[in-house]
Amino acid sequence: MLCSVLSLAALLKAMQSIFFGKMPERFQNVKEVPKTMLIPMGILSVTSLVEGLFPQLVDKFITRPVTSAILNPGKYIDSILGKGYFEEIAKTDVQVQKLTYEIAGYNPL
């Protein structure tokens, strides 16, 4: 209980000095940022708020497609390079592995 009270006191002191304290003289000439800098901050704030309030949207439209692409590269490769392209790559990969094993004198079977 004592730790909680001390933590609260420290946080309240910090908040009071940050938000309600006197501004140091070296910051008296500081001006507001241009509105063009506020737009990206607003976009990030809204995005963060939406992700926090509706995590199922993030799961549906970001997490699941990314996971699917990582775990199933053949589907992604076929969608980008054309149907059947992944099968050709896989055949070549198997042939290269077989050739590598033969050169090394290793027979996995």
User: Residue 78 class from Cβ within 10 Å (0-12 exposed, 13-18 middle, 19+ buried)?
Assistant: middle
pLDDT, tens digit, 9 for 90 and up, residues 76-99: 777 787 887 777 776 665 565 565
**Contact (Cβ atoms closer than 8 angstroms) between residue 45 and residue 37:** no
Determine if the pTM surpasses 0.75: no
Q: Half-sphere exposure of 32 toward its Cβ, with a 13 Å CA cutoff?
A: 4
For residue 67, name the pLDDT band (cuts at 50, 70, 90): confident
CB 86 within 8 A of CB 77: yes
Domain boundaries, the chain: 40-71, 74-109
Return the number of other C-beta atoms located less than 10 Å from residue 86's C-beta: 19
Which pLDDT score, from 0 to 100, does residue 101 have? 62
Q: Is the pLDDT of residue 25 over 80?
A: yes
